[in-house]
Structure 1
Amino acid sequence: MKKNVKIILSALISTLFVSFGLFGSYIIHKNMKYSSLALNSSLGTMADLSSINNIDKSLMDSISENQKFVVSVYANIDKGVSQGSGFLYNDKGDIITNAHVVGGSKDLRIKMADNTIYSGTVIGKSTNLDVALIRVPALKNKTPLKVDKDYKASLGDEVIAIGSPHGLENAITTGIINGLNRTFTIEEYKYKNMYQITAPVDNGSSGGPLLDKKTGEVIGINSAKSDGNSIGYSIPINQVLQDVDAWSKNPAAPVTTDITPKYKYEDTEGKKISSENLVKYFYSCINSKDYVAAYALLGSEWQSKTDYNLFRKGFLTTKNVDILSISSNISSDNSITIVGIINSQDTSTTDKYKVIYTVDYENNVLKILKGSAQKLK
């Protein structure tokens, strides 16, 4: 069955940005024919992943930790703003992504899972490999994702892809490696010995990590897709590390030392979406028992009224929180009001709650300023 291979490069047309605040227009590159076997999978979250094939809890914890440093990359290119994905490679603050994501841009914005945005600089790039390295000073000394430098792929190996398709941060897809050594060229980008995977990837997923489902370690860089999103293609990580390490040691461009979070100038709709994602990330942290990360998402006034130990104690018996619905509205003071319906599973019961949060920027970082919960019958 013939499929068209397309680079998953997502770009923003400026008029749509003004109108909708969304990165919704995509640059689709030249087509390339390839044979592939399509198997189904779908976008999901950590909660969805927990029910797949009885996945090991230690692996769930590993993936949850990895998600914190899988980022969205925004680059100004000739045709607008390109949006892709990337992941933290080392303790120098270096992010691996695709060259087609950064284009000719040198200065970029890197959006973290908690919606914090930092400046980044492209310090190395290869169109032959379609790989780029971005240095983000604010991420120096952070723990990077684990990379399996000796991974040897086999047909049928189970994999997990993480990225930000259509700007949806940290979406997860699962599948298998169902093809090896795929080689093709799309415009100036040359792809060699690619993994063909059934874990779907989509516009905006470019540059995100492909993980070995057994270990949670990075084995590839998601870079291309076929029509219908049923087949994806990933660059084996071990064939680019020599170049990446060389760029890291000898940056091709001067790097700013600025570690100040950057305010994202977005319209109302964009701010609403970012606020909803922040609340979703809050509950993802609770589900993975990372109470430190969850507490860090609260505004200073809320933290001043509830110390960390008390906050943590309130969630110790919570096994899982499912968000059944979520909506947002702009308030008169330009903050965002989030209304959600959740199921909270405790050690013995599952209860439904209506939660209301106020979200706004505090010192240029989006925070949950206050919240309340009402138990539903």
Structure 2
Amino acid sequence: MSILITSLILLVGIAGAFVINNYYSHYTVEATSSIGDAHNEKRNAPSVERDLKSIIHESQKGVVQLDVESDAGKSVGSGFLYNENGDIVTNAHVVTGAKKITVRTADAQQYEGKLIGIGESTDVAVVRVLDLQGQSPLPVMEDHVADIGDEIIALGSPLGLQNSVTTGIISGLDRDFALDHYTYSGVYQISAPIAPGNSGGPLINKSTGEVMAINSAGTEEGSIGFSIPMKDVYDQLLEWSKHPENLSKKDQEPNTDHDVTPKLNAEDSEYLVKYFYDSLVIGDYVTAYSLLGSEWQKNTPYEKFRKSYIQTIDITINQIKSEPSKEENTMKVTIIIDALERKKDRETKTYVYKCSYTISYENNQLKIISGQTTKIE
């Protein structure tokens, strides 16, 4: 009898287990232990903060210098690309009364800009550059609210020094004041210095690389600046981009007139070479390669170009000078650098090089036409 009862219990248990397993087999069971959750936590964790140099270099690609001509004379301001239509955000006071707006990009190219929207009491404006249509804009924090202590990067062209960088923090919120005939309401106070020429440039969130505000005003002391939050003006910017003002039918067509080549100067030539080295140091070989002339690219495939710099860790510019070349509208730039390079045995060594580059326009684009490098013992 005991054997019969035991067998009966086992049969009931097996049948019960089968029923329970069949009933719950379609359910997904989530682990609750820390070990079980580890994989999902890693997969869904926020992205690691990007390297500061990488954020600055990538942001600079979307930052421009605005050379403005008006009845009051010539002035310099900053701006940044915020959409794929070629639309540049800047301050209204930068482009007020503009008769001609020349936009200089990070790779030293020049384009004509057209004002398509400008605030009367709010110090913001939008300039359209049709030649920049399709270019990648800077990512924008459309509704972000900053906190005091947030680390920031201010980009622009203070005193005409293109693509200069200052860093700091959000040091105050909701600042209100009037300047000229513009009303600043609820703006950010920042510790990053703002100088003439910075106006209109982006204020970048140091952690994410996104634009959180527009640098707009500074103080004579130089240690306090004010930036207009993107959340307060973004809808107005979109409206101007959607319904542009002051554009004729001709203005809405990309410029195909490449007969007029800008006059080359030493400043632009040296800037291009410096930008070339900045791209190499950050490992952005695609951008560096794009700055080379067609003949150089033809004789040096991209992979060969990249391989020749892949072991370069850092570059320090010691001397740079430029002088007009024998050819018209061409400059020769000579530069001496210290290059920290990785050797085959994984050790590093610093080498000194003297480099000479020929800078000129090719199809109306400023390029490094040729170059020669000599190692200095």
TM-score (norm 1): 0.81
- The answer to whether residue 300 in structure 2 is matched with residue 306 in structure 1 is yes
Ranked by relative contact order (alpha carbons within 8 Å, sequence separation 6 or more), the top structure is: 1
Higher share in helix? 2
- The answer to whether residue 338 in structure 2 is matched with residue 346 in structure 1 is no
Larger-Rg structure: 2
For 1:232, which of 222, 225, 230 is the aligned residue?
225
Gap change, CA 1:114 and 1:140, over 3 Å in 2: same
RMSD (Å), alpha carbons: 1.8
- The answer to whether residue 253 in structure 2 is matched with residue 257 in structure 1 is yes
For 2:214, which of 218, 221, 224 is the aligned residue?
221
- The answer to whether residue 166 in structure 2 is matched with residue 168 in structure 1 is no
Q: How much has 1:274 moved relative to structure 2? A: 0.5
Q: How much has 1:164 moved relative to structure 2? A: 0.8
Aligned residues: 320
C-alpha separation between the residues in 2 aligned to 1:321 and 1:217?
Answer: 27
C-alpha separation between the residues in 2 aligned to 1:261 and 1:160?
Answer: 37
| SS class of match (2:146) | coil
Q: How much has 1:261 moved relative to structure 2? A: 8.0
Gap change, CA 1:261 and 1:293, over 3 Å in 2: farther
Moved >6 Å (runs of 4+): none
State, as a whole percentage, how many aligned pairs show the same letter. Answer: 45
C-alpha separation between the residues in 2 aligned to 1:61 and 1:261?
Answer: 35
| SS class of match (1:228) | coil
Gap change, CA 1:166 and 1:190, over 3 Å in 2: same
**Structure 1 segment 110-125 matched on structure 2, within 5 A:** 110-125=103-118
C-alpha separation between the residues in 2 aligned to 1:354 and 1:261?
Answer: 38
C-alpha separation between the residues in 1 aligned to 2:324 and 2:112?
Answer: 27
Question: Any conservation in 2 of the 1:155–1:179 contact (CA below 8 Å)?
Answer: yes
Question: Any conservation in 2 of the 1:121–1:136 contact (CA below 8 Å)?
Answer: yes
| SS class of match (2:357) | strand
Question: Any conservation in 2 of the 1:121–1:256 contact (CA below 8 Å)?
Answer: no
Question: Any conservation in 1 of the 2:141–2:211 contact (CA below 8 Å)?
Answer: yes
Comparing 146-155 with 156-165, greater Cα deviation is found at 146-155
C-alpha separation between the residues in 1 aligned to 2:320 and 2:52?
Answer: 28
| SS class of match (1:240) | helix
Aligned partner of 1:376 in structure 2 is 376
Gap change, CA 1:134 and 1:373, over 3 Å in 2: same
Gap change, CA 1:115 and 1:325, over 3 Å in 2: same
| SS class of match (2:193) | coil
- The answer to whether residue 300 in structure 2 is matched with residue 285 in structure 1 is no
Gap change, CA 1:264 and 1:212, over 3 Å in 2: farther
Q: How much has 1:258 moved relative to structure 2? A: 2.2
- The answer to whether residue 93 in structure 2 is matched with residue 100 in structure 1 is yes
- The answer to whether residue 200 in structure 2 is matched with residue 204 in structure 1 is no
Aligned partner of 2:43 in structure 1 is none
Question: Any conservation in 2 of the 1:222–1:234 contact (CA below 8 Å)?
Answer: yes
Aligned partner of 1:360 in structure 2 is 360
Gap change, CA 1:86 and 1:261, over 3 Å in 2: farther
Aligned partner of 1:38 in structure 2 is none
Q: How much has 1:264 moved relative to structure 2? A: 6.4
- The answer to whether residue 183 in structure 2 is matched with residue 190 in structure 1 is yes
Q: How much has 1:105 moved relative to structure 2? A: 2.2
Q: Which amino acid is the alignment partner of residue 299 of structure 2?
A: K
Gap change, CA 1:321 and 1:56, over 3 Å in 2: farther
Gap change, CA 1:57 and 1:360, over 3 Å in 2: same
C-alpha separation between the residues in 1 aligned to 2:301 and 2:256?
Answer: 25
Q: How much has 1:331 moved relative to structure 2? A: 2.2
| SS class of match (1:143) | coil
Q: How much has 1:106 moved relative to structure 2? A: 6.0
For 1:315, which of 306, 309, 318 is the aligned residue?
309
